[in-house]
Structure 1
Amino acid sequence: MEKVRPKKHLGQHFLTDLSIAQRIARSVTGHLEAKRVLEIGPGMGVLTQFLLENPQELFVVEIDTESIDYLKKNFPQLEGHILEGDFLKMDLSNWFQEPFAIAGNFPYNISSQIFFKVLEYRDQVTEVVCMLQKEVAQRIASPKGNKDYGILSVLLQAFYDIEYLFSVPPGVFNPPPKVQSGVIRLLRNQTKKLDCDESLFIKVVKGGFGNRRKTLRNSLKSFQLSESLKSHSLLDKRAEQLDVADFVFLTQQIQASRGNH
């Protein structure tokens, strides 16, 4: 069987190192009793073969028709478990009513969008184990006060405990990417919902990081902060110095001041 040709427009970099693939597969813990795993972008199944050894039932989602044909021929055990199409446009509730995990070597050009989709399904996605560009992986796992810490760090850490597992060099891919890669694991935490208006929370986080060098007093000006909130010591800080709880508190205060107008 011919190999699948990596396609630049799909951001495909196929992992060729089996020991790394096995290590990624073994990092899936089955957190909160997830019985299924969805692999995003299996390509030629380098990671797939090891995920199939895990106790969870495996589904894969693939947009590339050449990869789909390859998987059907080489992995007959995936019959009925290959979702054909664009993960970002898929209604996952058609396939997964129960808790499930996500795994994969994510296409680096859409990794942030994948995480926004994970947040959308956070009540079902109990765990994510993935490889992505090292900088993005570090940013997501970064604690507050770190220069890597950003919008995705806050939004994901609100609902997941995140651990940076290990780094992966470019030479173990075909074709080698121009960047280093990193593997992270996200495990769903106990937070069912935030103690504030969640859509406002997202706006406040994005606003706060809109100009990282400014204090929050300046970067959140457009939120028409009340006089009492303007003098709060939190607003002397920059966005990267606040954790999830701080941003929830800020959102509550902005909500309350809007209600008083």
Structure 2
Amino acid sequence: MYTLKKSLGQHFLTDENISRKIVESLPVSEGQQVLEVGPGAGAITKYLLQIPGIHFKAIELDTEKVTYLEKTYPAIQGKLINESILDAALPFEGPFRIIGNFPYNISTQIMFKVLDWRSQVDVVVGMFQKEVAQRIASPHGNKDYGILSVLLQAFYKIEYLFEVHENCFNPPPKVKSAVIRLTRLEQPADIASERKFFVLVKTAFGQRRKQLRNPLKTMFSKELLAEDPIFSKRAEELSVADFAALSHKMI
């Protein structure tokens, strides 16, 4: 069998209906390349392996789980990558989709990895801690809206699909869980550059309770800061399109 490792944030999904529901939330067609992140004990892996005609790989840091998966699901032989998703090189050439019950302790970092890979990753279906899922999906004007919301929504359509009860896991986590889907936008936000946009968003939310002219005073001309009423707003009041437009006016 296998052991649970708290250091890796392991909470294994045991509810078969939820496992199937997660897999069914990922649109796939024949020839599709699919990467599962953190297969653990194989709760959704076994259903992914049953999808005909896809090119499947899974990435798992825990060597013990890799051994368990290979013994339990012979069809996974040669499809496992034994390393951290955060250190991984691109697993496929060409486009691929990502699915997983993401380790909650690194789920935010996984999303930044998705942003790095976005030219090849067009769809992501993932289970997150409920608060993180809400943050990613949150519209502007909401207290949950933040850096991750803006950066991901600039490139992906976010759908908050469903919530998952703690009792669906072993051991039950002390937090609520939710599944979301990201679908890459055909027309992403019109940003000046990735570097400018990321710096702008991170700086704005670094002092989210202050009017924007305070944290952003070094990024724009004094005239623009004084004249444009947008700088009297707080970061959470700006839409993704607002941030994208501002990125073109930075010094």
Name the TM-score class by shorter chain.
over 0.9
Shift of 1:221: 2.2
2:160 equivalent in structure 1: 164
Task: Note if 1:61 corresponds to 2:59.
Answer: yes
Is 1:205 the counterpart of 2:201 in the alignment? yes
Alignment match, 1:15: 13
Q: TM-score, normalising length from structure 2?
A: 0.95
Instruction: Please state which structure has a larger fraction of its residues in helix.
Output: 1
Number of aligned positions between the proteins: 250
Identity percentage of aligned residues: 53
1:177-232 Cα offsets, whole Å, 9 max, x none, are 11000100000111367430210110110111111111111221232533124320
CA separation of 1:194/1:89 partners in 2, compared to 1, >3 Å: closer, same or farther?
Answer: farther
C-alpha spacing 1:252/1:169, structure 2 compared with 1 (3 Å):
same
**Is the Cα contact below 8 Å between 1:164 and 1:184 reproduced in 2?**
yes
- Between the aligned partners of 1:9 and 1:74, the Cα distance in structure 2 is 24
* Distance in 2, Cα, partners of 1:153 & 1:46: 28
Q: What is the TM-score normalised by the length of structure 1?
A: 0.91
Contact persistence 2:189–2:244 (CA under 8 A): no
Runs of 5+ unmatched residues, structure 1:
none
- Aligned residue in 2 for 1:87: 85
C-alpha distance in 2 between matches for 1:212 and 1:195: 21
Q: Where does residue 25 of structure 2 map in the other structure?
A: 27
Instruction: List structure 1 segments (4+ residues) > 3 angstroms apart after TM superposition.
Output: 191-195
Specify every segment of 5 or more residues in structure 2 that has no aligned partner in the other structure, as ranges: none
Q: Identify if the C-alpha distance between structure 1 residues 34 and 244 changes in structure 2 by more than 3 Å, giving closer, same or farther.
A: farther
Q: Please report the RMSD computed on the Cα atoms of aligned residues, expressed in angstroms.
A: 1.6
Contact 1:144–1:242 (CA under 8 A) maintained in structure 2: yes
Show the 5 A alignment for 1:148-187. 148-187=144-183
Structure 2: distance between partners of 1:156 and 1:27: 19
Cα distance between partner residues in 1 of 2:173 and 2:153: 27
Q: Per-residue deviation at 1:113?
A: 0.5
Q: Which residue of 2 aligns with 1:76?
A: 74
For 2:98, the equivalent position in structure 1 comes to: 102
